[in-house]
Amino acid sequence: MPSNDLHDWIEDIEARIESLGETAERCRKFILLSKAATTVGGVLLSVNLAGVIRPDLPTMLFAIAMLLGGIVWGGSNWSTMRRTEGEKRAAEELRVEMINEADLPFLGQP
């Protein structure tokens, strides 16, 4: 494989690794937001059912929607993050393998 092709391949892999890292970080932020939504929904539903605030249908529906929506949103982002991190590890291993097989000259003193 010519040196320029190898360099281009490694460069593409590194761009993919960076993109996957950004996706995983975005998923972490959404997971945090989903935990907040689940917590707010659960607390609002609890105080509504306990009678701390005047129970009314719109508040209960909003609380249930936040609770269930947070659970679903968090689960979706959690599975996306796990898949993305797996793809990132595979790309990093491929990059290391390509560099090791490149038969690059040693520049420096042993």
Domain with 38, as residue range(s), is 3-100
| Residue 106 maps to a domain | no
pLDDT at position 68 is: 97
Cα separation, 30 vs 81, whole angstroms: 10
| Residue 7 maps to a domain | yes
* Side chain identity at residue 29, one-letter code: K
| Residue 95 maps to a domain | yes
pLDDT at position 4 is: 72
| Residue 105 maps to a domain | no
Domain count for the chain: 1
| Residue 109 maps to a domain | no
Cα–Cα–Cα angle for 106, 109, 110, rounded to 5 degrees: 85
**To 10 degrees, the CA torsion angle through 74, 78, 79, 80?**
100
pTM: 0.77
Cα separation, 53 vs 46, whole angstroms: 10
| Residue 82 maps to a domain | yes
pLDDT tens column, 46-102: 999 888 888 889 999 999 999 999 999 999 999 999 999 999 999 999 999 988 887
| Residue 108 maps to a domain | no
Sort residue 108 into left (φ over 0), alpha (ψ -120 to 50) or beta.
Answer: left
pLDDT at position 104 is: 72
